[in-house]
Amino acid sequence: MVCLGNICRSPLAEGILKSKLHADNFYVASAGTASYHVGDNPDSRSISIAKKNHIDISTYRGRQFKKADFDYFDYIFAMDYANYKDILTLVRNDQDAAKVDLLLNVLFPGENLEVPDPYYGGTVNFEEVYQLLNKGCDALVEFLKNE
């Protein structure tokens, strides 16, 4: 799960997806395309909305997406189109590129919808992001079941 800062959307997506999958079978992680928040815990507003939904992301630490991630992950989901394009600048071959998509394309195929950046927003924006991610992750779990 990849966003810009790896403190608002993607750690929340990581926590939600982990809550829906068995850790024995799936390795789920998140990253940011930017380095501003490397080593930081998630934004307190993401921690709060996760906690409200019985998910603890408070110990996660920001990290930056790197080329080696293409070797470790089968699927790489971007939160918005800018993240998607930034990830694509790092691909080494067609196989890497084929792993990348917008998360919401799993839920709404071909629509290229984005999970909006809530960083400059308020609680309502984080609530909206949580709801979108929860639905997106439900669709992803269904997709993975059929893989």
Q: Which residues bind ligand 4NP (CB under 6 A)?
A: 3-9, 32, 36, 117, 119
Helix (H, G, I), strand (E, B) or coil at 64: strand
Sign of torsion over alpha carbons 28, 60, 53, 76? negative
Q: Which amino acid is at 39?
A: G
Asked about 8 being catalytic, the answer comes back as no
Comparison of 86 and 144: residue with beta carbon closer to ligand 4NP: 86
Helix (H, G, I), strand (E, B) or coil at 120: coil
What are the strands of the beta sheet with 31-32, ordered from one edge?
A: 31-32, 2-3, 76-78, 100-102
Q: Which of 9, 69, 80, 137 is catalytic?
A: 9
Q: Which of 43, 80, 117, 137 is catalytic?
A: 117
Rounded least distance, CB 70 to ligand 4NP, Å: 20
Asked about 3 being catalytic, the answer comes back as yes
Q: Which of 3, 43, 69, 80 is catalytic?
A: 3
Comparison of 125 and 144: residue with beta carbon closer to ligand 4NP: 125
Of 78, 90, 66, 60, nearest to 1 (Cα)? 78
Is the Cβ–Cβ distance between 6 and 62 less than 8 Å? yes
Asked about 137 being catalytic, the answer comes back as no
Comparison of 118 and 140: residue with beta carbon closer to ligand 4NP: 118
Rounded least distance, CB 84 to ligand 4NP, Å: 13
Q: Please identify every residue annotated as catalytic.
A: 3, 9, 117
